[in-house]
Structure formats: structure tokens, C-alpha cells
A and B are shown apart, each in its own frame.
Chain A
Amino acid sequence: MRGINITISVLIASAILGYLMAFIAGLCRLSSNVFIRKATGFYIELFRGTSLIVQLFWLYYAVPMLFDIQLGSNWLVGVIAIALNYGAYMSEIVRGSILSVAKGQTEAATALNMSSFQRMRLIILPQAVRMMLPEFGNYLIQMLKATSLVYLIGMNDILYYGNILRSNDLSQAPTVYLLLLVFYFILALPIIWLTRKAEVISKKGVAS
């Protein structure tokens, strides 16, 4: 099966970039600077309010026309679209988890004279991340499903090769697509398993 490496590399890259965006945007939403808060809010609402496939096409077709730039490869366009979209969704999880760490934790850390940065890094984030894990797992599956969209911007991923097989021999279509679905499911299984583990972990070690 060809195209697997594209599907997987898009997944890994967009997951890393997406989580990064989630943390950046989530923390910015909690900033004391009004401008940063508003600007991040705009980004989040923009990407949550329109749909991923529209964003993908927009980045692919419209952005080069608008700014006369090429975003490099299709691969990069796909990764950026998926990461920005799910980063926006997940930033709300980051924000919510940080806010739900008990106030007493911040106060205890202050009483130990930690700086606001130390409080965040040593006390709040480690607890908040535990709360985020299960949702992060769920979104990883969403991102896995979203990788199939890169086919639509001309990438030769697994779906592309599947479609070629199908057009070569129409009667093979059911087998081909079923195999594709099974392939995605096999990729999803470890994520599902990890997510369930994460749910157990997140129930421990958090003061709320």
C-alpha cells in the first residue's frame, strides 16, 4: 500500500503543530493583555466558525492568489490547515483545564514565593495537562480522520491510491474502500487505547 507515509507524516506533523498552537493560543487567551486576548479570540472563532475543508481550499487556492506567495508544498498546506483548525478547538481545552486547576494551588505556590512563570510551569500546567490528555486523544483521532482531506488538494496519500485502484477495476470498489477504512481504524486503535489510559491517569493527581 503506497501513500501510507503521506497519511502518517501529515498526521504526525499536524498533531505536533496543532498541540503547539493549542498551547500558544490557550495561554494567550489567558493573557492579561487585552489586545493579545482579543486577537487570539478572533483566530479561534474564525477557525472554529468555518469548516476545515473550506480552510484547506482557502489556503490552497486563495492564499497564493491573495498574497502572491506559495506556501511551499501541498503537504505543508495540509499540515497547516489541520493544525490551525484543531489548534483552535484544542486551545479551548487548554484554557479550560488551566482555569479549572484549583485556586488554592496558585495561592500555595505564591506563598512559597514562586514567580508567576514558575507557578504556571511547576504547579498549574502539570495538573492541567493531565486533565487535557483524554480530550487531546479524542482530537488526535479527529486529526487522523482529517488527514484524508489532503487527497483533495492533490496529495498522493493512501486515499489517492485507493481511488486509482477503484477506477482501474470498478468491481473492486467495495474491497478497496473497506481496506482503506480498516487501515484508518488500525491507525486509530492505539490512539483509542491511549485515550482510555489517559482518562484513568487524568482522574488522579489533580486538585480541583
Chain B
Amino acid sequence: MDNWSWEIFFDAFPVVLEGLGITVGLTLACYLFSLIFGFVWTFLRRVPFKPLNWIVTWVMEFIRSTPPLVQLFFIYFAWPMVPVVGMTLSPFTSAVLGLGLHFSTYIGEVYRSGIEGVDKGQWEASQALNLSTRQKWLKIILPQAIPPTIPMLGNYLIIMFKEVPLASTIGVVGILHMANSYGAQYWAYLEPLTIVAILFLVLSYPSAILISKLEKRMNRRFDKKETLNSSKGATT
């Protein structure tokens, strides 16, 4: 442990911390993008046209099962070379598009599970009440579909936070980038990288606990609903 230097640690700390704003900002931007784009996937999959569903499903599968790092490189290095639609994007924008798109496929699944989790009777009931499509979604389906997905969505925020340092590879100067360039400059990687690890731990661990608490609360509520339903079923 002789190689650990508190001097370097305190010297590097403010430097690394400078990147925190970008890291957090990028996380939020990616998250927002994927929350919105997740809706697009979910919507496209609900369009009653089989070939389109099929294509969308496989495109999602493709995006989800290939490395986000390569996707980042594609958007940052290759997109400008693509004829007609290609254009040069800043590292930050590329990261938002790349990581946001990658995770939107997961978020889309979360939405889908939420919608499919709504009891079939609810759809029939809204049909029976002769609600418009808009009313049906806004008043009946979404209010029930969204709450159970909140813990899952929260989890994805944390997952994305931990994925965001990938963007340092295309030059987004978040905490990892700051740590690496500090390391390269003074040939001292140990302390700055440890700082990065600590920052991640300090930010993500409490949020993970918070979310698992939330999840337990929701599960309890959900369970209660279920037992209520089943006891109803037993008496009739």
C-alpha cells in the first residue's frame, strides 16, 4: 500500500470532480432521450401491421444485443461519412444519441410490460364504457400501467449512469475522462481512478437502496391487489 498517496488523492479530487457535472448531465440527457424514444418503440410495436412489428422487434433486438461502445463509434466516427443524411456531431450529442438509443430499447420493453400488466378486464371495461381511444389510454390504461414500471425505470437510470463513462472514449470529458487524463499527465492512475469509483459508489448505491425500497412497497401493493382479486374469484 506504500504506493497510495493522499497528496495525489487531494490534488486529483477537484480535477476529477470537475467532470461530474458532465457525467450527471449526460446521464440525464441520455435518460430523457431513452424515455421518449422508448415510447416510439412501444408505439411502433402496437401498430396493427405484422411486417412492421416484425421489423421493429428485430431492430430493437439488434440494437440491444450489440455493444454500445461500437454504436458510439458508429455515430461519432461513421455518421458524418454516411451519404445524404450524415452530419458531424459533437461528442456529447453523439453520446446522447448512441447511449440513449441503446437504452431506449430496454425502456420500450419496460413500457410494454407495464401495458401488458394491465388486467384484460380493464380494456373490456373501457370498451363497454364507450370511451374514446384517447380517454381509454389517458384515464384507464396508463394510470395503471405506469406505477408498476417506476422502480424498473429507476433501475435503468442507475444502469445508464454507470454506462455513461463509455462516452469518454469519444472525448466527452466526464469524471472518467478527467481521471484518465490526470493519470496520463502525472503517471498516477491509482488515486484518480479510485476517486471515480468512489463517486460512482456514493451516487449509485444510495439510489439503488431507495429504488429497492420503492419496489418492495409497490410489490406489496400489487400483492394485496392480487389476493383481493383471487378471493373475489373464489366467492363468485
Contacts and interface: CB of A to CB of B under 8 A. Distances in A.
Interface of A: 45-46, 48-55, 57-58, 61-62, 65-68, 141, 144-149, 151-152, 159, 162-163, 166, 170-174, 176-178, 180-181, 184-185, 188, 191-192
B144 to A, nearest CB: 26
7 contacts: A49-B201, A49-B208, A144-B67, A181-B62, A184-B65, A185-B65, A191-B65
A174 B81 CA distance: 7
B169 A192 contact: no
A145 to B, nearest CB: 4
A67 to B, nearest CB: 8
A177 B73 contact: yes
A185 B66 CA distance: 6
Interface residues of B, number: 44
B108 interface: no
Interface of B: 1, 3-4, 61-62, 64-71, 73-74, 77-79, 81-82, 86, 161-166, 169, 176, 179-180, 183, 188-190, 193-194, 196-197, 200-201, 204-205, 208
A144 B165 CA distance: 18
B190 A65 contact: yes
A192 B65 CA distance: 9
B81 A188 contact: no
A61 B183 contact: yes
Contacts of A177: 70, 73-74, 77-78
B169 to A, nearest CB: 6
A7 B108 CA distance: 29
Given A45-B205, A185-B62, A159 B78 contact: no
Question: 7 nearest interchain CB pairs?
Answer: A51-B162, A61-B189, A148-B67, A188-B65, A173-B78, A177-B74, A145-B67
Given A68-B3, A178-B74, A181-B74, A57 B201 contact: no
A166 B79 CA distance: 12
A149 to B, nearest CB: 6
Nearest to B179: A57
B169 A152 contact: yes
Contacts of B68: 145
B193 A62 contact: yes
B176 A53 contact: yes
Contact of A184 (B3, B67, B169): B67
Contacts of B197: 50, 54-55, 58
